[in-house]
């Protein structure tokens, strides 16, 4: 049983509208989402003792979300991540986007999808947000209609993205939640064990634009194919943190992307996606100056993001394959193919969808929390966690396994 409640969260300045909060609750999970930026403001899940904690960073009040802040919980777009120098060529025309991150355009520009009021619609088990991004918004071509839905399905929170463009445009939507599985406000994520199913990553230059190389993770700090304890791992490789795109194996199907395990609480977070990449970001720019929920401060490395996405700067670096009659037979790499064709529905599987005019299926991001009981065998647990459709993220309570992440891994091999 899922309940959905609706309440006023706050008023925007200058009579610009009212922000509402939608609370989705099941036996296992409670999630709060506001209509400002489709932002997840709270996510409560139990630990192995059954004690619930909020595991996402954020603010108590609307004012927190309106100040300059690092995209806590928000949906980012029209194009998540960076576009070098904020420019790209499309159909022979040069487009210039709003620049907001050094020389680059980041997460949609100065006023991206995280900084707008969306129109909500209550669903039986969730909430849908929609908006129309006008032609030329932040420099992007064409009008884009966008729908984001969050639904609780049993123990799973599913996030779907869908967009429809009036003209060819790059699109890349993701959710920018910062997690700390020990509970938000915990000082760091060093005791989290991280696994990312990627054989390659994109090295970046000094302004975090991919250099063009698709590098093997083998023998590097980026080899997270087996679980690593984050703090020790960063020390061992003398790295300051991650803020990189990991290249996921190419497939239109939902597949395992990442797992994070927190031994202290027994919480496990899993991400599955249909997207070609995931930005693993360890909160390197958090500096403890923001006043967070319940008086929390958020120092560097106090939260992590797993932003499933098309590859950064794909519009410039990984030439788009626009729909054509040979499209289906083309061999495409794991690169970001992110164009929305006029009057076709785009979904975040990438451009492979574009040769088909309209798709009903689209990316899902599922957050799941199963209250597994003692005695459930590990294989059942694993297949339950894989049952969700499409792109999903599972947050599991472990009531019994001393180290479920290694158990999951061995199931995977």
| Residue 381, both tokens | 């647990």
CB nearer ligand GLA, residue 104 or residue 390: 104
Beta strands in 185-229 (DSSP E): 192-196, 198-201, 215-216, 228-229
3-class state of residue 107 by DSSP: coil
3-class state of residue 229 by DSSP: strand
Contact between 222 and ligand GLA (CB under 6 A)?
no
Asked about 347 being catalytic, the answer comes back as: no
Q: Between residue 199 and residue 218, which ones bind ligand GLA under the rule CB under 6 A?
A: 208
Contact between 290 and ligand GLA (CB under 6 A)?
no
How many CA within 13 A on the CB side of residue 276? Answer: 21
Contact between 305 and ligand GLA (CB under 6 A)?
yes
CB nearer ligand GLA, residue 282 or residue 405: 282
Contact between 229 and ligand GLA (CB under 6 A)?
no
Catalytic annotation, pick one of 176, 192, 244, 301: 176
Site string for ligand GLA, 43-82 (x = CB under 6 A): ---------------------------xx---------x-
Size of the site for ligand GLA (CB under 6 A): 11
CB nearer ligand GLA, residue 37 or residue 120: 37
Q: Between residue 231 and residue 260, which ones bind ligand GLA under the rule CB under 6 A?
A: 243
Contact between 281 and ligand GLA (CB under 6 A)?
yes
Figure out which of the listed residues 164, 172, 279, 348 binds ligand GLA, where binding follows CB under 6 A: 279
Asked about 307 being catalytic, the answer comes back as: yes
Figure out which of the listed residues 232, 235, 285, 358 binds ligand GLA, where binding follows CB under 6 A: 285
46-85 as b/e, with b when 16 or more CB fall inside 10 Å? Answer: bbbeeeebbbbbbbeebebbbeebbbbbbbbbbbbbbbbb
Distance in Å, CB of 42 to ligand GLA, minimum: 20
Catalytic annotation, pick one of 44, 156, 193, 307: 307
CB nearer ligand GLA, residue 128 or residue 313: 313
CB nearer ligand GLA, residue 200 or residue 208: 208
Contact between 9 and ligand GLA (CB under 6 A)?
no
Which residues have a catalytic role annotated?
176, 307
Note the residues at the interface with ligand GLA (CB under 6 A). 70-71, 81, 106, 208, 243, 279, 281, 285, 305, 307
């Amino acid at each position: 049983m899922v309940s959905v409640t609706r309440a006023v969260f706050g008023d925007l300045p200058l009579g610009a509208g009212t922000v509402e909060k939608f609370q989705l609750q099941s036996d296992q999970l409670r999630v709060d989402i506001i209509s400002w930026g489709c932002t997840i403001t709270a996510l409560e899940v139990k630990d192995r003792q059954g004690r619930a904690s909020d595991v996402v960073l954020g603010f108590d009040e609307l004012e927190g979300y309106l100040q300059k802040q690092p995209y806590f919980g928000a949906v980012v777009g029209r194009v998540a991540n960076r576009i070098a120098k904020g420019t790209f060529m499309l159909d022979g025309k040069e487009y210039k986007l709003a620049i907001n991150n050094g020389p680059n355009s980041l997460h949609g520009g100065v006023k991206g999808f995280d900084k707008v009021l969306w129109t909500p619609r209550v669903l039986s088990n969730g909430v849908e947000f929609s908006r129309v991004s006008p032609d030329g918004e932040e420099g992007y071509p064409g009008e884009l209609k966008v729908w984001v839905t969050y639904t609780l399905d049993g123990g799973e929170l599913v996030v779907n993205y869908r967009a429809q463009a009036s003209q060819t445009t790059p699109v890349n939507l993701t959710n920018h939640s910062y997690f700390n599985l020990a509970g938000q406000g915990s000082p760091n994520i060093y005791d989290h064990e991280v696994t990312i199913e990627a054989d390659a990553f994109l090295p970046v230059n000094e302004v975090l634009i991919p250099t063009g190389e698709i590098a093997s993770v083998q023998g590097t700090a980026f080899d997270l194919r087996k679980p690593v304890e984050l703090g020790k791992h960063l020390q061992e490789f003398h790295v300051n943190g991650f803020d990189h795109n990991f290249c996921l194996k190419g497939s239109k199907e939902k597949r395992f992307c990442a797992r994070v395990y927190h031994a202290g609480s027994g919480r496990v977070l899993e991400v599955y996606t249909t997207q070609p990449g995931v930005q693993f970001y360890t909160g390197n720019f958090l500096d403890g100056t923001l006043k967070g929920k319940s008086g929390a401060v958020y120092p560097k490395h106090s939260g992590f993001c797993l932003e499933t996405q098309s590859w950064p700067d794909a519009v410039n670096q990984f030439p788009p394959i626009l729909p054509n009659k040979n499209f289906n037979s083309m061999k495409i790499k794991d690169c970001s193919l992110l164009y929305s064709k006029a009057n076709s529905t785009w979904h975040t599987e990438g451009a492979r969808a574009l040769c088909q005019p309209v798709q009903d299926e689209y990316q899902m991001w599922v957050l799941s929390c199963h209250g597994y009981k003692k005695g459930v065998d590990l294989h059942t647990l694993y297949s339950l966690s894989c049952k969700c459709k499409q792109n999903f993220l599972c947050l599991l309570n472990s009531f019994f396994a001393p180290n479920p992440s290694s158990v999951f891994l061995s199931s995977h091999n």
